Structures are given as structure tokens and as C-alpha cells.
């Protein structure tokens, strides 16, 4: 099992838009085959860092998941929403494997 951690740099004046974006992924991600841990927005400290975290079986499963997500109507709509509104400045993905078990 791999955990994908998405680190976002967001516009601090558009956190409500990011929250709407996160809620949409909360529907699309599980439907397309990943196990969503959640999306996290700034509360204290940095006003620009946010995270999305989900688990996926393998990198091969990730590729299939991404293909399904690209065809998902809500996934396509959500991506267009983010591009149109510009609330995400930067997005980085890291794949981690759990080693404490």
C-alpha cells in the first residue's frame, strides 16, 4: 500500500474555494478507486499550505486510478474549477510507504 500526500500552496484569500474543491474530491477519489484519508486546509500557522492524503495499492493501481479520475465528470469539472479560479498556486505529490508495521 502506498500513501499519496499532495502538498498544495493555495491563495490565502481563496480557502473557501479550496474547501469546495476538496469536498468534490471527497466524492470522486473514492469512486475512482483510492482510499481517501482527507483534505486539510490552513487553520493556524501558514495560511497557504494545504494537503490531500489518500492510499492506493501500487503505482500501477495509481495509473489506472488517474485514468478513471480523468474520465470522471466531477473530476474533470473540479480540475477545470481549480484552473479557472486560480486558488492553487502549486501542487506536489509524494508517494510514501508505511514502515512501522
Pick from 5, 2, 96: nearest CA to 53: 5
Please give the pLDDT value at position 80. 97
| Domains assigned to the chain | 2-96 (3.30.70.100)
**Does the pLDDT at position 35 exceed 90?**
yes
**43-83 per-position pLDDT tens digit:** 888 899 999 999 999 999 999 999 999 999 999 999 999 99
CB atoms within 10 A of CB 46: 11
Amino acid at each position: 500500500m502506498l500513501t499519496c500526500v499532495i502538498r498544495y500552496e493555495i491563495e490565502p484569500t481563496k480557502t473557501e474555494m479550496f474547501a469546495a474543491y476538496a469536498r468534490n474530491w471527497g466524492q470522486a477519489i473514492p469512486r475512482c478507486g483510492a482510499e481517501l484519508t482527507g483534505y486539510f486546509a490552513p487553520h493556524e500557522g501558514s495560511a497557504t499550505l494545504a494537503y490531500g492524503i489518500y492510499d492506493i495499492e501500487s503505482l500501477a493501481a495509481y495509473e489506472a486510478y488517474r485514468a478513471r479520475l480523468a474520465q470522471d465528470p466531477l473530476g474533470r469539472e473540479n480540475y477545470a474549477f481549480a484552473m479557472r479560479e486560480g486558488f492553487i498556486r502549486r501542487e506536489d505529490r509524494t508517494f510514501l510507504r508505511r514502515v512501522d508495521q
